[in-house]
Amino acid sequence: MRILVVEDDPDISRQLVAALQDQGYVVDAAKDGEEGHYLGDTEPYDAVVLDLGLPIIDGVSVLEKWRRAGRKMPVLILTARDRWSDKVAGFDAGADDYVAKPFHMEELLARVRALLRRSAGHATSELSVGPVMLDTKSARVTVNGMAVKLTSLEFRLLAYLMHHKGKVVSRTELVDHLYDQDFDRDSNTIEVFVGRLRKKLGVDVLHTIRGMGYCLSEPDNAA
């Protein structure tokens, strides 16, 4: 899953990026509203953490521009604790949730997980398909109750497909959501990671849809 952080305070930005990366997300960062708007308008993010008090273009204006352009990714806004009017303005502009500064990182991470779940239509932190279970809170994967050890990219691949269970996901979409903007992307490497993931899971839930991409579904629902 790929996250955009738009925050002008360098210390807060570094903390957010590090915490999100530790959770297994791919993270891009922007230091002002202009750069943040451009990235959010041109790159496919699964969620955005957006500060409202940004230089050049304020956060509310950035969010309004995204929504007018049809950008639907869930957005978590950061706002000063005593500025209730900022929260209202953020929600009216199209925000999905907010965290007030100063905030506890665990709360922010939990809210990001909730946004990602809701946007994909899931109600809990535990995602499953057949005997495969992925807990987005603990980043733990099990098959028939037995823990499976995955690399960070294998975990991101499985998590993205889990969030989009039953849907065909193209190689291009996977590349866009598994790598940051500076990565030298090659869609052919996805085949390698899909093969490794299949072998580690050991169950027939990850299906190749010829000419279209991949689909994670129950074994008896294979296309």
Would you say residue 162 has pLDDT above 80?
A: yes
Asked if 165 and 127 count as a contact pair (C-beta separation under 8 A), the reply is yes
Would you say residue 223 has pLDDT above 90?
A: no
Domains of the chain: 2-119 (3.40.50.2300), 126-221 (1.10.10.10)
Report the interhelical angle of 10-22 vs 105-119 (nearest 10°). Answer: 60
What are the strands of the beta sheet with 97-101, ordered from one edge? Answer: 26-30, 2-6, 47-51, 75-80, 97-101
What are the strands of the beta sheet with 126-129, ordered from one edge? Answer: 126-129, 132-135, 140-143, 146-147
| pLDDT band for position 139 (cuts 50, 70, 90) | confident
What pTM was computed for the model? 0.75
Long-range contacts at 199-207 (CB < 8 A, ≥ 24 apart): 200/148, 200/149, 200/150, 200/154, 201/132, 201/143, 201/148, 201/158, 202/143, 203/130, 203/131, 203/132, 203/143, 203/144, 205/129, 205/130, 205/132, 206/161
Report the interhelical angle of 33-42 vs 59-68 (nearest 10°). Answer: 20
CA atoms of 174 and 167, how far apart (whole Å): 12
From 42-51, 87-96, 112-121, the region with the lowest mean pLDDT: 112-121
What pLDDT sits at residue 184? 58
The mean of the pLDDT values for the chain is 90
Q: Name residue 142's beta-bridge partners.
A: 133, 147
pLDDT tens digits for 85-114? 888 999 999 999 999 999 999 999 999 999
What pLDDT sits at residue 221? 47
DSSP secondary structure of 96-107 = -EEEEES--HHH
Pick the closest to residue 161 from 118, 204, 207, 97 (CA basis): 207
Would you say residue 38 has pLDDT above 90?
A: yes
